[in-house]
Structure 1
Amino acid sequence: MMQSFIALLLPSLAWFLPVFAGILGFKLYLRFEQKKPIRRPFTKDFMRLPGQSLQDKIEIIREEFDTNLLFIFVAPILIFTIHISQSYFIPAPETKMRIVSSVMMVIGTVIYFLYKLIKNRKELTALRLGLDGEVATAQLLDPLKRKGFYIYHDFQAKGFNIDHVLVGPTGVFAVETKARSKPDRGNNTVDSRIVFDGRQLIFPDYKESKSIEQAKRQAQWLNKWLSSAVGEQVPVSPLLVIPGWFVELKAKLGGIYITNGTNLEFIVRMNGGASLTEKQINQITHQLEQKCVDDTKEKA
Structure 2
Amino acid sequence: MSFLEQVGFGLIYPVVLGGGLLALIHWRLNRRPTRNPLGEDIQLRRQPGEHLRLEIAIQMERLLWAVFALMLLPLGGFCAVLWITTFLKVDVLVRLVASVAACLLVIACVYALILRFFSKLANLRLGWFGERVVADQLDVLKQKGYEIFHDVPCKGSMGSFNLDHVVVGNGIVVVVETKTRRKPKEKGSHKVSYCGQALQWPWGRSTRELDQVVNNAQWLRQEFKKNLNLDVTVYAALTIPGWYVIGGPPQAPVLVESYKRLAGFIEKRFARRMTSVETELASLHLHKLSSNVGYANLE
Q: 1:198 aligns with which of 175, 183, 196?
A: 196
- 2:270 matched to 1:262? no
Whole-Å Cα distance in 2 between the matches of residues 128 and 70 of structure 1?
A: 23
Task: Please report how far the alpha carbon of residue 85 of structure 1 lies from its aligned counterpart in structure 2 after TM superposition.
Answer: 7.7
Whole-Å Cα distance in 1 between the matches of residues 249 and 278 of structure 2?
A: 33
What is residue 121 of structure 1 aligned with on the other side? 118
Q: 1:67 aligns with which of 23, 45, 65?
A: 65
Task: Confirm or deny: 8 A CA contact 2:171 2:279 kept in the other structure.
Answer: no
Task: Confirm or deny: 8 A CA contact 1:170 1:270 kept in the other structure.
Answer: no
Paired residue type of 2:45? M
- 2:19 matched to 1:20? yes
Task: Confirm or deny: 8 A CA contact 1:155 1:163 kept in the other structure.
Answer: yes
Whole-Å Cα distance in 2 between the matches of residues 41 and 229 of structure 1?
A: 29
Q: Mean alpha-carbon deviation: is it higher for 7-16 or for 236-245?
A: 7-16
What is residue 152 of structure 1 aligned with on the other side? 149
Task: Confirm or deny: 8 A CA contact 1:133 1:243 kept in the other structure.
Answer: yes
Paired residue type of 2:71? F
Runs of 5+ consecutive residues of structure 1 not aligned to the other structure: none
Task: Confirm or deny: 8 A CA contact 2:238 2:255 kept in the other structure.
Answer: yes
Task: Please report how far the alpha carbon of residue 255 of structure 1 lies from its aligned counterpart in structure 2 after TM superposition.
Answer: 1.6
Whole-Å Cα distance in 1 between the matches of residues 289 and 215 of structure 2?
A: 19
CA 103–285 in structure 1, closer or farther in 2 if over 3 Å, else same: same
- 2:100 matched to 1:99? no
Task: Please report how far the alpha carbon of residue 198 of structure 1 lies from its aligned counterpart in structure 2 after TM superposition.
Answer: 3.1
Whole-Å Cα distance in 1 between the matches of residues 95 and 44 of structure 2?
A: 59
Whole-Å Cα distance in 2 between the matches of residues 126 and 297 of structure 1?
A: 26
Whole-Å Cα distance in 1 between the matches of residues 124 and 269 of structure 2?
A: 33
Paired residue type of 1:29? R
RMSD value, Cα = 3.0
Whole-Å Cα distance in 1 between the matches of residues 107 and 233 of structure 2?
A: 55
Paired residue type of 2:106? T
Give me the TM-score of the superposition, normalised by structure 1. 0.85
Task: Confirm or deny: 8 A CA contact 1:7 1:85 kept in the other structure.
Answer: no
SS in 2 for 1:108: helix
What is residue 139 of structure 1 aligned with on the other side? 136
Task: Confirm or deny: 8 A CA contact 1:130 1:178 kept in the other structure.
Answer: yes
Task: Please report how far the alpha carbon of residue 196 of structure 1 lies from its aligned counterpart in structure 2 after TM superposition.
Answer: 1.3
Q: 2:237 aligns with which of 211, 217, 239?
A: 239
What is residue 178 of structure 1 aligned with on the other side? 179
Aligned residues: 290
CA 253–271 in structure 1, closer or farther in 2 if over 3 Å, else same: closer
What is residue 280 of structure 2 aligned with on the other side? 282
Whole-Å Cα distance in 2 between the matches of residues 30 and 253 of structure 1?
A: 57
User: 1:181-213: CA deviations, max 9, x gaps?
Assistant: 12233x3xx322111133321122333221111
Q: Mean alpha-carbon deviation: is it higher for 38-47 or for 153-162?
A: 38-47
Structure with greater strand share of residues: 2
Task: Please report how far the alpha carbon of residue 179 of structure 1 lies from its aligned counterpart in structure 2 after TM superposition.
Answer: 0.5
Task: Confirm or deny: 8 A CA contact 1:8 1:86 kept in the other structure.
Answer: no
SS in 2 for 1:195: strand
What is residue 227 of structure 1 aligned with on the other side? 225
Runs of 5+ consecutive residues of structure 2 not aligned to the other structure: none
Whole-Å Cα distance in 1 between the matches of residues 112 and 6 of structure 2?
A: 34
What does residue range 77-88 of structure 1 map to in structure 2 within 5 Å? Answer: 77-80=75-78
Task: Confirm or deny: 8 A CA contact 1:8 1:85 kept in the other structure.
Answer: no
Whole-Å Cα distance in 2 between the matches of residues 173 and 17 of structure 1?
A: 55
Whole-Å Cα distance in 2 between the matches of residues 87 and 271 of structure 1?
A: 74
What does residue range 205-216 of structure 1 map to in structure 2 within 5 Å? Answer: 205-216=203-214
